[in-house]
Amino acid sequence: MILLLAALLAQGRPPPLSPQPPPPQQMPAEGPAGWREQFDELWKKRDQPGMEKKLNEILHQQLAADPGSFEANWRLASLFNWQADGAKGGDFKAALGKAAWQAGDKAILAKPEDVRGHYQGGTGIGLYSEGVGILTALAQGLEGKFRDRLLAALRIDKDYLDGAPQVVWGRYFYKLPWPKRDVAESIKVLSEALRAHPNNLRAKIYLADSLAEDGKAAEAKQLIEEVLQAKAGDNPPEEKRLKEVAQQWKDQH
């Protein structure tokens, strides 16, 4: 080996370099330890005063450390969708829906084969569309964007969140304006969702809307009564909100 090195040096050639190990892969930065567990625990109480602000702060601490975080972005989209769903409409609802859509798309970019980014992003587009008006959203070319995300969610896991992708998909056919509207398809999709997920209160309310539109008032009212009489489950904030929606429905019919 010494003779080989001497010969190479005499010829003006550098000695061969020893192979270097590849540099270690850099992991994304992490925010405060245990932030996911803290967020998920507080999420169960998100309807309580000040809780949405706390949830937002937790997520933005993590996103400051890792803006592309899948776990933070899909949760942020979920928070914005929760807020948009509770908004009365107009610009505020549209802004929240758009923020959910954008955060959902960041989650899709980070993990394209996970249902959560597609579902939250698609739901955000739907809520944005309700805020600006469905006709305006169609004119903006958003139908294809919505369908792409929802169909991906249905393909990956149609049973996510107790069948939530199926429920949003069924609502889509009801919400479309004439001549695109398809109440029969809405009833079909939502009925199938309820067969697989009989305790989904949102599916019952949406199906009641579609049945009432189709002249089946008695069946619609029965579904609303089932929502009002439903026992407590594992998502108290959602259940409370949907019971309020069901009561409003009953008062108006």
**CA separation for the pair 154, 38 (Å, rounded):** 29
pLDDT confidence band for 88 (50 / 70 / 90) = confident
Would you tell me which CATH number, out of the four given (3.40.50.2300, 1.10.760.10, 3.60.70.12, 1.25.40.10), belongs to the domain 159-253?
1.25.40.10
Mean pLDDT computed over every residue of the chain? 90
Question: Which residues make Cβ contacts (< 8 Å) with residue 181, sequence separation at least 6?
Answer: 173, 174, 175
H/E element holding 76? helix 70-86
Residue 32 has pLDDT above 70, yes or no: no
The answer to whether the pTM exceeds 0.75 is yes
**CA separation for the pair 141, 216 (Å, rounded):** 33
% the chain with pLDDT above 90: 86
Rounded average pLDDT over 188-192: 98
Question: Which residues make Cβ contacts (< 8 Å) with residue 121, sequence separation at least 6?
Answer: 77, 100, 101, 103, 104, 105, 107, 108, 149
The pLDDT, as a whole number, for residue 103 is 98
The pLDDT, as a whole number, for residue 4 is 39
Closest CA to 194 of 171, 213, 217: 171
Q: Quick: pLDDT tens for 55-78.
A: 999 999 999 999 999 999 999 999
Domain spans of the chain?
Answer: 65-157, 159-253
State the sign of the Cα–Cα–Cα–Cα dihedral 47, 238, 236, 105. negative
Q: How far is CA 238 from the centre of its chain?
A: 14
